[in-house]
């Protein structure tokens, strides 16, 4: 197998002083028909959030590349040209991928941490794979971190890494950030491996969450499981040698690059694309929009039902409004996602069959990925944005919509159970389980006076311009600098 490194600029700057550890690297391997591996940069997501911090220091990113290997050790130099820093791969086998990622991460932790909306499975062989993979990540991080380096571990896939890494490298400063909700203790206690996961997290000097609610769930759990004395900012833990160590816990609500979204939305291309989209939808009075990964946590089903009922009961006149739902394919090997895909197709089919006319459908459903620029033009075209997850750590889509509304117009309907609701108080907030409440709120958003919409949007925009992703990254890293401390 030939590995071609396109446009490589090597950034070997050891010893590394900042190590990011995340399930995925910010690049993916693509294999051509002739077996040549090409590396492509994964746009958006965590990498754009961390990029400035990574460029400032001698940094390395440890993660999985997306390719499955049958060997244990691959040490292919991944082209740093695409990442903002050096990249180190943790190889995963097909079995590990199935049991650790699709299994323990997506079928146990994901549903459990999202209020058990789908039923979590508790299988010992999946847990064993999770432990094995977490060990591999910790070992890789331990290997590349320079003396006294700062390590930032990301998300639910790697909750054991902080403690494993501390054991291997007590000199490191370790931060952990959870991108999804942290569940109430009654739910967390279901987990047969609850003790081990909490011990894993408590290996960090700083544990960060999106919301104060998640912080208090975490601290309540530490108190319940270990009887540690907790205070609102953290707790002191005792390690196996009897030494006391401070673990700080805090809320760091993630955000977006607000200026970048604003700038894309202002381009003539985005504005023209928005006008064209409305025209193709039949120039209705209202365009409503949903943009989500096709995930059962996002509340896409009830949102479609609510809109369909509004058509059925005559609250929305046929032809006056079109609801466009973009649902990006995701986790297609997991059974709950396959079922959801069918359920949503059925709901859309019913809405179109019952309320469509020849040449015009009141619900348009696109189960496809789009370029970011296209998504922004959808935001720019939408009068009402529907973000109604049953539970969401933060939800960046809601923030992206606001950042893309440079005329201070448009209405955001937002679930109370998205982390973003803590900050975006001027959205039209809704209980995502309440079908009648969603219907009422959609109508309220559609019919709100322009002045009210502008007041709400202006206030949310000014919040987001101040609280952008750069502030998130620096506030976490600054808190990590101050955290820790041993007896």
Interface ranges with ligand GDG (CB under 6 A):
44, 179-180, 254, 291, 293, 328, 369-372, 375, 392-397, 400
Whether residue 126 contacts residue 97, with contact meaning beta carbons closer than 8 Å, is answered with no
Shortest CB 375 distance to ligand GDG, Å: 5
Is residue 47 within a helix (H) or strand (E), and if so which, with residue range?
helix 45-56
* Dihedral sign, Cα of residue 85, residue 86, residue 90, residue 93: positive
Shortest CB 328 distance to ligand GDG, Å: 4
Shortest CB 325 distance to ligand GDG, Å: 11
Whether residue 425 contacts residue 397, with contact meaning beta carbons closer than 8 Å, is answered with no
- Calculate the CA 287 to chain-centre distance: 26
Query: φ, ψ for residue 467 (rounded to 5)?
Result: -105, 75
Residue among 176, 209, 200 at smallest CA distance from 21: 176
Whether residue 292 contacts residue 300, with contact meaning beta carbons closer than 8 Å, is answered with yes
**CB of 369 or CB of 485, closer to ligand GDG:** 369
**CB of 78 or CB of 397, closer to ligand GDG:** 397
Whether residue 339 contacts residue 324, with contact meaning beta carbons closer than 8 Å, is answered with no
* Tokens 């959870």, residue located: 178
**CB of 71 or CB of 371, closer to ligand GDG:** 371
Shortest CB 402 distance to ligand GDG, Å: 13
Report how far residue 118's alpha carbon sits from residue 115's, in angstroms, rounded to the nearest whole number: 8
**CB of 83 or CB of 419, closer to ligand GDG:** 419
Shortest CB 404 distance to ligand GDG, Å: 10
* Bridge partners for 290 per DSSP: 325
**CB of 287 or CB of 394, closer to ligand GDG:** 394
Report how far residue 445's alpha carbon sits from residue 427's, in angstroms, rounded to the nearest whole number: 9
**CB of 191 or CB of 291, closer to ligand GDG:** 291
Shortest CB 74 distance to ligand GDG, Å: 27
Whether residue 176 contacts residue 200, with contact meaning beta carbons closer than 8 Å, is answered with no
User: Alpha helix (H) ranges present in 24-173?
Assistant: 45-56, 94-96, 110-113, 124-144, 161-168
**CB of 65 or CB of 473, closer to ligand GDG:** 473
Shortest CB 2 distance to ligand GDG, Å: 30
């Amino acid at each position: 197998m030939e590995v071609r490194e396109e446009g490589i600029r090597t950034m070997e700057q050891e010893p590394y002083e900042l190590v990011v550890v995340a399930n995925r690297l910010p690049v993916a391997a693509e294999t051509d028909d002739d077996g040549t591996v090409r590396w492509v940069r994964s746009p958006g997501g965590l990498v754009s959030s961390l990029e400035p911090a990574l460029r400032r220091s001698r940094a390395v990113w440890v993660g999985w590349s997306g390719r499955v290997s049958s060997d244990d050790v691959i040490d292919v130099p991944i082209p740093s040209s695409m990442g903002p820093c050096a990249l180190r791969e943790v190889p995963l086998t097909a079995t590990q991928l199935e049991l650790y990622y699709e299994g323990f991460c997506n079928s146990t932790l994901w549903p459990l941490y999202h209020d058990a909306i789908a039923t979590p499975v508790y299988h010992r062989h999946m847990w064993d794979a999770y432990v094995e993979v977490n060990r591999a990540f910790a070992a890789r991080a331990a290997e590349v971190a320079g003396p006294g380096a700062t390590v930032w571990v990301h998300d639910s896939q790697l909750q054991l890494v902080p403690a494993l890494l501390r054991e291997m490298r007590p000199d490191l400063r370790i931060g952990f950030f959870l991108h999804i909700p942290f569940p109430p203790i009654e739910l967390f206690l279901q987990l047969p491996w609850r003790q081990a996961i909490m011990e894993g997290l408590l290996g960090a000097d700083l544990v960060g969450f999106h919301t104060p609610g998640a912080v208090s769930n975490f601290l309540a759990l530490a108190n319940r499981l270990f009887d540690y004395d907790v205070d609102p900012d953290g707790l002191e833990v005792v390690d196996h040698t009897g030494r006391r160590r401070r673990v700080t816990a805090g809320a760091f609500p993630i955000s977006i690059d607000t200026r970048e979204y604003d700038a894309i939305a202002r381009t003539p291309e985005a504005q023209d694309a928005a006008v064209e989209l409305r025209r193709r939808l039949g120039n209705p009075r209202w365009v409503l929009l949903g943009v989500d990964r096709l995930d059962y946590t996002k509340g896409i089903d009830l949102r479609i039902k609510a809109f369909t009922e509004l058509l059925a009961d005559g609250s929305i006149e046929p032809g006056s409004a079109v609801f466009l739902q973009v649902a990006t394919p995701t986790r297609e090997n997991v059974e709950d996602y396959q079922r959801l895909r069918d359920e949503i197709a059925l709901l859309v089919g019913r809405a179109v069959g019952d309320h469509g006319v020849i040449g015009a459908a009141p619900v348009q459903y696109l189960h496809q990925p789009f370029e970011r620029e296209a998504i922004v033009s959808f935001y720019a075209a939408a009068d009402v944005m529907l973000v109604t997850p049953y539970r969401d750590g933060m939800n960046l889509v809601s923030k992206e919509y606001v950042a893309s509304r440079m005329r201070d117009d448009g209405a955001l309907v937002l679930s109370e159970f998205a982390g973003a609701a803590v900050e975006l108080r001027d959205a039209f907030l809704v209980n995502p389980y309440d079908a009648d409440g969603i219907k009422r709120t959609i109508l309220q958003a559609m019919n709100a006076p322009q002045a009210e919409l502008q007041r709400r949007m202006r206030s949310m925009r000014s919040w987001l311009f101040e609280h952008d992703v750069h502030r998130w990254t620096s506030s976490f890293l600054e808190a990590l600098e101050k955290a820790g401390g041993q007896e």
